[in-house]
A and B are shown apart, each in its own frame.
Chain A
Amino acid sequence: MYYLLPFRFERLKDKEIIVNEVGDYLIIDRNTVDRIVSRKISPDEELYKDLITSFFISETVVPPLIDNYATRLRTKKSFMDGFTSLHIFVLTLRCNQNCLYCQASAKEHNALQYDMKKEDLSRAIDLMFKSPSHSVTMEFQGGEPTLTPDLLTYAVLEAETRNKLYKKQITYVLCTNSVSLSDRVINICNEYRILISTSLDGPEFLHNRNRGKTDSYQKVVAGITKARTVLGEDRVSALMTTSEYSLDYPAEIINSYLENGFHSIFLRPLNPYGLAAENDDWDLYFDRFVEFYKRSLEYIIQLNKEGTFFIEEFAALLLRKILTPFPNGFVDLQSPSGIINGVIVYNYDGYVYASDESRMLAEYNDYSFRSGHVSDKYENIFYGRKTQELAQIWITEGIAGCSDCAFQSYCGADPVRNYSTQGDSYGFRPTSSFCKKHKSIISYIISLLTEREDEVLPIFKKWLRRNEG
């Protein structure tokens, strides 16, 4: 006779997966869960020992190693310790590109009324320093933030000056399209060790089409080269966005990253905000995206097998959750959700939003996730009524459709996405594209780990070691 411990399960083809409270999993034969629950697993079976050691069952009411288990659970949720660590400053909505899927509702490059006021920027920096997190990331976004070098310089200098008192570890990130990286901006980045995160959608024909320009690719590549020359290769990273057009070109996109000297790619789908929200059929898009993702990952695995070290970052984030005792720090896959807990956005107009996506909704006159203004008290923004309302629906452990899901430990809650796609922050999992996409990709990665362990595990372990390094 044994006692059950909390776990969740799911059917996978002809197998079942069981996952415990800290994300450890076992792949077992069909109908084994029924045998476990019915107390039909005999102590003589090898499975019995696996179930005991992995905290699925216990021979005592309270497992002898419950303190170790509790410590592991706390480690899994340790991203909560620092509270908000990513502070996004939208310095301007002005931009110099015409991206087809623009999610930030960018404005004409000469529309100066969309720049952040210095007094608002100063107050936002004050709020950032009130965060209990010892390590904070100050991320500059737009529009195109390099169009406001004065604000960028002011923000960094103010942060450096005030940090003499607070002594936080500050990481600066400049999110730029890199098409007009001036010497001045590069010098600021060099002096204050600012990381550059740029956008590269793939090969020339695809990137230019997505950006609505004929010369964007050449300018971006020139910008990346210029930044690398001054800042160093490891200080420049790139993100891609998968437009509908991109879905047919997985190998071409990955090859373009290799050709441009990158060692990883983050296969990122469109998000239903801004211009991208005008997409006709999201269900079809996400079905196609999952297939695109699988083809891309297969290609990347093949590259690694042939000796080219190349990481798919989303898979690496999931693998960190699946294979290690640690959280991954990715705000889109957290429970409690990354909004406010992990990220906050100070918009160009001084208003504060729960996430980057929240401020994108605001550009369409939807202020549902506005948490306050930079002139408000820290407590009213970060612990106020709006935050309390969101807190009731931002944990996967407590919302319908997620609370019983086997992949709960690997996934996250996203009330803003639910609201944007389904008109309801709580969300409805049976028709949620977020749920469908994550379940499909997690199932796929689990199937790789199960069915092709010898082939993929050495590659995945290398990816995780790189990330930990």
Chain B
Amino acid sequence: MIDFILKENRCNLTVDLSIFNERVLSKVIYCLSGDYLVYQQNLENNIQFIMLEKKQGILSSDEFQLLKQKINQLLIDYKNRDIINLETKNIRDILYVKAFTNNDDFEDFNLMD
């Protein structure tokens, strides 16, 4: 699923994109990019290689362990957020249309049918 390696002040990982898609990965990387420089490369078999290089200071083995936990947590959370966003996109649109359209001109379809 995810493989981590600590190498020369860098955290290298490979992620299976069939499990965590590009949208999820992009958001995880965004969260980390305040502290790390990020390099990404698509490999064969739907695998993405990511290299995180700490912007300031040395990435110790303790920090590496914490970073692994954080990345795992972020991946799980953003995958859930992605599912919620995808599954609720239409109902959210309906909610906002109902809330903000001019009701005088709005034909209220029977959405319950």
* Interchain CB contact under 8 A, A428 and B34: yes
Question: Which residues of chain B (49-107) have a CB below 8 Å from chain A?
Answer: 73, 76-78, 80-81, 83-85, 87-88, 91-92, 94-96, 98-100
The B interface, classified by DSSP as helix, strand, loop or mixed, is: helix
Q: Which of A6, A74, A401, A428 contacts B84 (CB 8 A)?
A: A6
A61 at the interface (CB under 8 A from B): yes
Contacts of A60 in B (CB 8 A): 112
Known: A5-B91, A60-B112. A34 touches B80 (CB 8 A): yes
Contact residue range for chain B?
20 to 34
Known: A61-B91, A62-B91, A430-B34. A4 touches B84 (CB 8 A): yes
A194 at the interface (CB under 8 A from B): no
Segment among A65-73, A108-116, A369-377 that sits at the interface with chain B: A65-73
Q: Which of A34, A64, A69, A401 contacts B30 (CB 8 A)?
A: A401
Contacts of A61 in B (CB 8 A): 91, 111
Q: State A329–B80 Cα separation when bound (angstroms).
A: 33
Question: Which residues of chain A (197-222) have a CB below 8 Å from chain B?
Answer: none
* Interchain CB contact under 8 A, B92 and A21: yes
B33 at the interface (CB under 8 A from A): yes
Q: Which of A34, A58, A67, A431 contacts B34 (CB 8 A)?
A: A431
- What are the 7 tightest A-B residue pairs by CB atom distance, in nearest-first order? A430-B34, A70-B98, A6-B88, A70-B99, A73-B99, A431-B34, A74-B99
* Interchain CB contact under 8 A, A62 and B99: no
- Distance between B75 CB and nearest chain A CB, rounded to angstroms: 12
* Interchain CB contact under 8 A, B84 and A7: yes
* Interchain CB contact under 8 A, B27 and A404: yes
Contacts of A8 in B (CB 8 A): 81, 84
Contacts of B73 in A (CB 8 A): 11
Q: State A402–B32 Cα separation when bound (angstroms).
A: 15
B31 at the interface (CB under 8 A from A): yes
Known: A21-B92, A77-B99. A62 touches B112 (CB 8 A): yes
Q: State A69–B31 Cα separation when bound (angstroms).
A: 32
The A interface, classified by DSSP as helix, strand, loop or mixed, is: mixed
* Interchain CB contact under 8 A, B100 and A3: no
Known: A5-B88, A21-B92, A404-B81. A430 touches B99 (CB 8 A): no
Question: Which residue of the partner chain A has the closest CB to B100?
Answer: A74
Known: A5-B88, A77-B99. A11 touches B80 (CB 8 A): no
Question: Which residue of the partner chain B has the closest CB to A406?
Answer: B81
Q: State A40–B88 Cα separation when bound (angstroms).
A: 18
Supply 11 further A-B pairs (C-beta < 8 A) apart from A3-B87, A66-B111, A401-B30.
A4-B88, A7-B84, A9-B77, A66-B91, A69-B95, A70-B99, A73-B96, A404-B27, A429-B30, A430-B34, A430-B35
Known: A6-B95, A61-B91. A37 touches B84 (CB 8 A): yes
Contacts of A66 in B (CB 8 A): 91, 94-95, 98, 111
Q: Which of B31, B32, B77, B94 contacts A11 (CB 8 A)?
A: B77
Q: State A6–B96 Cα separation when bound (angstroms).
A: 11
* Interchain CB contact under 8 A, A64 and B112: yes
A400 at the interface (CB under 8 A from B): yes
- Distance between A341 CB and nearest chain B CB, rounded to angstroms: 14
Mask of A383-416 contacts with B, CB within 8 angstroms, 1/0: 0000000000000000011001000000000000
Q: Which of B31, B33, B91 contacts A6 (CB 8 A)?
A: B91
Question: Which residue of the partner chain B has the closest CB to A67?
Answer: B98
Q: State A401–B78 Cα separation when bound (angstroms).
A: 12
Q: State A21–B94 Cα separation when bound (angstroms).
A: 13
